[in-house]
Amino acid sequence: MTWLFDSHIHLSDPVYQEDLSHTIKAMESMKIKACCVSMDYSNSKKTLEIAKQSELILPFIGIHPECANNDLDQMMNLIQDNIDIISGVGEIGLDPTYVQSDEDKKNQTHVFESLLSIAEKYEKPVSIHSRKSLDDVFEIMTSYKTKNALLHWFDGSKKQLTKAMDMDFFVSYGPVMVYANDKQTLLTKTNEEKILVETDGPVRFSRCFEMKSAQIGFIPSVIFCSSKILNKQYDEMAVILERNSKKFLGI
Ligand SMILES: [Zn+2]
C-alpha cells in the first residue's frame, strides 16, 4: 500500500483545531501522513501535543523567520527535550519581508543558523522557508551538513533550481502548481528523486481552489497534476513521492 505525504502543513494552526479529529480521520482513510511544521515556541508545543493524537502526524518544531524574535534558548531546549519524538526541525529559514533593520536581519540569520546546527547535531531533516532569500539560504547551507533539507514551496528560478539540485536539496510543490505554468515548468526540471508535495495549509489558494484554506485532502490533486505534467500514471507518481518522502524523513 502506498502512503501519500503532505511534506509541509501547519496542522497546529488554530484554523484546524475545531475539526482536527475529522482531519485525522480523513488522513487515515486517504492514507496520508503529514509533516506538521511549527511557527514558534508555543505553536511547537501545540504540534507536539497534536502529534500524540495520531502517528500520521509527524512533528517538526522550530522558529519561522516571521517569529525570529521568539525565545531561541527556550526553543533549543524544547528540541533537545523532545529529540526522540520529533521527525524534524521546521519551519525555519530566512525572509526579508519580516526584516526592518540590520539588527533584525542579523537576528533572523542567527536563529536560522542555530536551528540548523541543532538539526545537524541530531541528524534531523529540516523544512526551510526561503521566500525571496534563496541565494542567502544556499550560502548559509554550504556550512552545514544537515541530514536532509527541504526547500518548501520552491519558488526560485531555473538557475536556482539547478543549484538546489547540485546541493542535494529536496524541493516541494503545492496547490499553486496545479494552476501556475512557471511551477509546472520547474517541476519538469526537478530531479525526480528530489520532488515532494505539500499543501502549506492553512494558506488560501486562488483560481480553482476559490480561496479555500488548504486542506490535507488537496494532496491527491497535487499528485494527480504532477503525474500529468511528468507523463506518469497517478499510482506511479504516488510511489515515487512516497519513496522521496521516506528518504527525506530518514524512515
Ligand atoms: Zn509554512
Q: What is the DSSP string of 63-119?
A: --GGGTTS-HHHHHHHHHHTTTT-SEEEEEE--GGG--SHHHHHHHHHHHHHHHHHH
C-alpha of residue 20 to centroid of ligand 1, in Å:
18
Q: Which of 174, 132, 126, 138 is nearest to 153 (CA)?
A: 174
pLDDT confidence of residue 180 = 87
Q: Counting runs of H as helices and runs of E as strands, what totals does the chain give?
A: 11, 10
- Asked if 150 contacts 171 with a C-beta cutoff of 8 angstroms, the reply is yes
Residue 242 and residue 235: Cα distance in Å, rounded? Answer: 10
pLDDT confidence of residue 213 = 84
pLDDT confidence of residue 144 = 95
C-alpha of residue 89 to centroid of ligand 1, in Å:
12
pLDDT confidence of residue 200 = 93
Q: CA-CA-CA-CA torsion for 182, 188, 194, 196, nearest 10 degrees? A: 60
Cell of 198: 505539500
C-alpha of residue 102 to centroid of ligand 1, in Å:
24
The reported pTM is 0.96
**Core vs surface per residue 100-114: b (16+ CB within 10 A) or e:** eeeeebebbbebbeb
Residues forming a β-bridge with 33:
5
C-alpha of residue 38 to centroid of ligand 1, in Å:
8
Residue 214 and residue 209: Cα distance in Å, rounded? Answer: 8
pLDDT confidence of residue 203 = 83
Residue 72 and residue 198: Cα distance in Å, rounded? Answer: 27
Q: Domain ranges in the chain?
A: 4-249
pLDDT confidence of residue 41 = 98
C-alpha of residue 235 to centroid of ligand 1, in Å:
27
Domain range 4-249, CATH architecture = Alpha-Beta Barrel (3.20)
pLDDT digit string, tens, across residues 103-138: 999 999 999 999 999 999 999 999 999 999 999 999
Residue 25 and residue 13: Cα distance in Å, rounded? Answer: 18
C-alpha of residue 127 to centroid of ligand 1, in Å:
9
pLDDT digit string, tens, across residues 210-248: 778 888 999 999 999 999 999 999 999 999 999 999 999
Cell of 168: 542535494
Low-confidence spans in the chain with pLDDT less than 50: none
